[in-house]
Amino acid sequence: MTMETSQGNLILNVKFMDDDHKAMLDSLNALVAVSSSGAEAVAINEAFVDLVNLTCAHFEREEMSMLENGYPEYAQHKSEHSALIEQISALAQRLNVETNSVPSDEVVALLTNWVSQHIQTADRAYARYLREVGAANR
C-alpha cells in the first residue's frame, strides 16, 4: 500500500506525521504479507505487536505535539486515538486467546479503514492548524 491509495491522499506535509504514517502503513503491509503467507501464528502475532507499538508511539508523538502547540481540538483528537487503542486491545486479547484463529483480515480491515479515515479527517485538520500557527516544519 502506498501513501496515495484508493483510500485517498494520505500526505499531510507535516514531516513527523507523514513519516510515522508511512511507517505504520509499511508495518500494516508487513502484517498483511505475513498473515497471507501461511506463517505461524507467532509470526503474525509479532507483526501485529510491531504495528501496535508503532501506532501507540505515533499517537503519543501527535498528542505531545498538540499539547506543545496549544491545539484546541486536543481532547477530541485524543479520544479518537483512544477508541482505536481500545479496539486494538480487544483484538490483541483475542489473538492471545485464539492463537490458531488469528483474525488478521479483521485487523487489517479495521486498521486500514480507521487509519486512512483518521488521517484524512482529524490528522489533516491538525496539520492545517500547524500551518496556521507556523509550526508545521518543526
Q: In Å, what is the CA distance from 86 to each residue of 45, 96, 138?
A: 17, 15, 30
We find the least distance from the C-beta atom of residue 105 to Fe ion, in angstroms, to be: 23
Helix or strand run (H / E) with residue 31: helix 15-36
130 part of the interface to Fe ion, by CB under 5 A: no
Q: Does 123 bind Fe ion (CB under 5 A)?
A: yes
Q: How far is the CB of 30 from Fe ion (least distance, A)?
A: 18
Alpha helices in 37-123 (DSSP H): 41-68, 74-97, 104-118
Query: Does position 65 bind Fe ion by CB under 5 A?
Result: no
Q: What are phi and psi of 73, to 5 degrees?
A: -95, 20
Stretch near Fe ion under the rule CB under 5 A, chosen from 29-37, 86-94, 105-113, 123-131: 123-131
Closest to Fe ion by CB, 108 or 123: 123
Q: Which residues make up the interface to Fe ion (CB under 5 A)?
A: 62, 123
